[in-house]
Amino acid sequence: MTRMGSTVKAQFPAEQTQEGQFVRQEDAFRRWVTSDGSSEFPAVAGRYHLYVSLACPWAHRTIIVRKLMHLEEAIGMSVVDPVRDEEHGWAFRLVPGATGDPVNGFEYLREAYTATDPSYAARVTVPVLWDKQTHQIVSNSDDDIMRMFETSFRGAAGGADVVDLYPAQHREEIESLNEWIYQTFNNGVYRAGFATSQAAYEDAARQVFKTLDALERRLSQRRYLIAGHPVETDWRTFVTLVRFDAVYYGHFKCNVRRIVDYSNLWGYLRDLYQYRGAGETVNLDHIKRHYYYTHDDINPTRIVPIGPELDFDSPHGRERLS
């Protein structure tokens, strides 16, 4: 079986020490669904359910892969309220864009965690892959869930146009770029946004823009980051790019430049948004309401901005690099 590395993610939102550094919580459940029956969780259509937040970039990655692999019929999905309960965390409420929980009738996602481990007391995170047969969490690691959807569930994928998001000939480069982009960009915006010292903030923010500048140069010569079509690295980058101007630029003080100020990155972002329905997975209302309302230590007024106006459907012109 193919597993991701053991990179530990900053949680959503990240917790901090007094020194402004993240208290990083490892994913609690990292069991594996296999296509060959070598684990207790076989890749059977209809057996598993995905719990997500449309606001969370880590969960968003799994939503995109589920869609691109045409796994919607094979793996159900429930969406939590983007505004977390202060005491219980992610909640299932019937607000616009959310679904409730038709599988278990949970009121809070925490119930899935305690059903799996009654002693669980740490932060509850999304995404969660739930096994409906044994009534437990298989994984709460977005890295692993993405990879399972890409590989283990490939036989359950529908449609003739399923794309290979983890091609064998590019795997070494995928892993290398994944790690660099995660450390300096995906997680870098959180390190900047939740910094509690000027030095910690500046270090993180400068790394964010150093990475964006490098990606801008790379994308001046090629349409996508690695292959002739988007692979998982592109989508791991996309979920941060699509939130950047609406949230990270202002709310997280990553305000040196916007993505719309980068000609190649802005075209690349629109290219991915328009790719095979990926834009249907983006909900800027959930994204903005979560960040601006939930992070009241950063935004104590909880006022959610009405902008910016972003036309992700405008022509991107990236075909010239195909």
Active site residues: 56, 190
Alpha helices in the chain (DSSP H): 57-68, 110-116, 142-147, 171-181, 188-193, 198-218, 232-243, 263-273, 284-289
Judge contact between 73 and 280, C-beta under 8 A.
no
Q: Give the residue among 52, 77, 106 at the shortest CA–CA distance from 290.
A: 52
Cα–Cα distance measured from residue 253 to residue 30, given in angstroms and rounded to the nearest whole number: 33
> What is the three-class DSSP state of 107?
coil
Residue type, 151: T
Beta bridge partners of 309: none
Residue 256 dihedral angles phi and psi, to the nearest 5°: -70, -50
Cα–Cα distance measured from residue 209 to residue 262, given in angstroms and rounded to the nearest whole number: 11
